[in-house]
Amino acid sequence: MPKTPSEKLFRLVKSLSGSEKRYFKIYINNKGGKDNKYLQLFEAIEAQDLFNEEKLQRTVYPGGATESRKYSELKGYLYDLVLRSLQAYDEKSSVDYKLKNMLLSVRTLYKRSLFDDCKELLHKAKKTAAKYEDFNAALEILQWEKQIAYAETDIAYLDKNLSRIAEAERHIVRQIRNFSEYKNLFYRLLTEVRKDATYDKNKAESLAFVQAAKVMSSVEKANSHRSRVLYYRILSVYWFAVRNLEKFYAESSDLLTLMESKKYMIAEDTAEYISALSNHLVAAGSLEKFDEVEQNLNKLKAIRSNTIDDELKSYRQYYLGKFTLYITSGKFTEAYFELQQHLKSRNKYSDDLFNKDAFYYLYFTICFGAERYEEALTHLNEWLGMSRNVERKDLQGLAKILNLIIHYEMQNSELLESLLRSASRYLNEQKMMAKAEKKILTALRRAVDTVGQKALRIHWQEVSEEYAQLSQEETQSITRWFPIQEWIDAQASESSFAEMVRHRFEDTIRKKH
């Protein structure tokens, strides 16, 4: 048996969801393995938060020397056993695995010339493949129909059905090609969007290939449910990227409606449904449709995940949406309380799985709004220290601005002067010094040199009026993530930042009713 690195086994066991772990224990107990060493090793790994080889060995071989060869074989056997249990688990829960198993059974029956049994099984598989749009399985089923007729020398069947089968094959091939076109277009769009998450006037031009694609001329070009899902997915990502929020909302809404029209398909690809819910949550929030935001959050929370990946995705997207709604509504005290619960529950996921990058600005803003400035600064410093990848380049610029704001709130005047120079240099080098950024930096420089509360209020009142006159396009690099206008207004009045955000939210709700 080939050697299995301990960390490889550790990662596999840690990747299992709760239901998969329970299934594994039932699986090995059914095989009479309750007291075996591999179960002891599995449970020892399950109990560890951080990988510790020596502790694992002591648990499996207490009070004696570890037999390295036997221990190595034990790890290899356990790794294979976990994989086999996962395959058995997937066969019970995944249509894809069920179809593969059915077709393997057809092959087994065919070798023994049990052709009637083959046909019976193929009939069931054909219905399932059509219902779930498993194109590859559908093609294989058609091949088996011809193969069995040939083996039985059923010329009458072939004479009657060959043209039907050939047309069915052509139709499925067209569906595969159509789906592949949408898939490739989606990947290209996603790559272009994530390479540069910043927005400028030329964004629509750089993504013009989406509108130019023939398959995007109308939804009728999509010849299957799976292709139609991709059609709306592409449009929702495109309209979000070019900042047309109304169309982003409309297409993400159509996507959800389409997916929920065939809920049995959602169970086969829960990750796609989580993404669709998340996008619509953002779209509804952008247009201040807060009732829909709540509805989508409830849907996310209700998702029952079969894998740790889906569980993590729904967990992440729920808290991204929930924290954003708290911030939008100015409920910073409630948000801070839930943040503490989240930080504890987050620990069950390893740092490799739970990518914190997208959460830093939420953690910061919640603590900032709750006036927990030291904690806010801690989260911000983690944010500033993250790797500079192309996808989060825009947030690094924002973090520099927020770093200035929190040090201003903490009255770190001497440090602020140095930070202003550093931020200005960074924003200029990265070509991020737009009108909004320049306005904030200038306002802070002048504020540092302004003496007296009355003079400061007058200064910030002027800044508030000037900032409010900037267009949405000019300010969205900041306001998309942080309620900067409300912070400026708080400096110009006796109200707190949290109160200003809450008043703005309440005014929005009143106007809608």
Reported as a single tens digit per residue, the pLDDT across 170-182 is: 999 999 999 999 9
The per-type count for the chain, helices as H runs and strands as E runs, is 27, 0
Q: How far is CA 472 from CA 210, 243, 409, 469, 480, in A?
A: 25, 11, 26, 9, 10
Find the length of the chain.
Answer: 513
DSSP structural state of residue 358: G
Is 285 within 8 Å of 480 (Cβ atoms)?
no
Give the residue carrying structure tokens 């074989």: 73
The mean pLDDT value of the chain amounts to 88
Write out the two tokens for 477.
């690099």
Task: Count CB neighbours of 48 within 10 A.
Answer: 15
Supply the pLDDT for residue 391. Answer: 43
Supply the pLDDT for residue 199. Answer: 58
Residue 390 has pLDDT above 50, yes or no: no
Range list of β-strands (E), 331-479? none
Is 215 within 8 Å of 178 (Cβ atoms)?
yes
Residue 428 has pLDDT above 90, yes or no: no
Q: In which band, very low, low, confident or very high, does the pLDDT at 162 lie, cut at 50, 70 and 90?
A: very high
Q: Within 13 Å, how many C-alpha atoms sit on residue 471's CB side?
A: 3
Task: Count CB neighbours of 298 within 10 A.
Answer: 10
Supply the pLDDT for residue 111. Answer: 95
CA-based nearest residue to 249, from 275, 276, 287: 287
Give the residue carrying structure tokens 């592949």: 180
Q: In which band, very low, low, confident or very high, does the pLDDT at 115 lie, cut at 50, 70 and 90?
A: very high
Supply the pLDDT for residue 386. Answer: 67
Q: Give dist(CA 370, CA 366) in Å, integer.
A: 6
**What's the pTM?**
0.76
DSSP structural state of residue 34: T
**Higher pLDDT, residue 54 or 197:** 54
Q: How far is CA 475 from CA 190, 304, 312, 442, 483, in A?
A: 24, 39, 33, 15, 11
Q: Within 13 Å, how many C-alpha atoms sit on residue 279's CB side?
A: 28
Residues 37-88 have pLDDT tens digits of: 788 888 888 888 788 888 888 887 776 666 667 788 888 888 999 998 888 8
Is 38 within 8 Å of 81 (Cβ atoms)?
yes
Residue 142 has pLDDT above 80, yes or no: yes
* Conformation bin of residue 426: beta by default, left when phi > 0, alpha when psi is -120 to 50: alpha
Q: Give dist(CA 97, CA 198) in Å, integer.
A: 41
Write out the two tokens for 448.
């540092």
Ranges 292-296, 316-320, 345-349: which has the least confidence: 345-349
CA-based nearest residue to 190, from 240, 261, 227: 240
Q: DSSP 3-state assignment of 450?
A: coil
Average pLDDT rounded to a whole number, residues 454-466: 93
Average pLDDT rounded to a whole number, residues 454-458: 93
Every domain of the chain and the residues it spans: 6-93, 387-513
**Segments in 348-452 forming alpha helices (H):** 360-369, 373-384, 393-409, 413-429, 435-449
Phi, psi at 307, each rounded to 5°: -125, 160
Supply the pLDDT for residue 236. Answer: 96
Q: DSSP 3-state assignment of 182?
A: helix
Is 497 within 8 Å of 369 (Cβ atoms)?
yes
DSSP structural state of residue 65: -
Q: Give dist(CA 26, CA 23) in Å, integer.
A: 5
Q: Give dist(CA 97, CA 134) in Å, integer.
A: 11
CA-based nearest residue to 369, from 477, 212, 487, 230: 487
Residue 249 has pLDDT above 90, yes or no: yes
Supply the pLDDT for residue 213. Answer: 97
Contacts of residue 485, defined as CB under 8 A and 6 or more positions apart, other chains included, come to 464, 467, 468, 475, 479
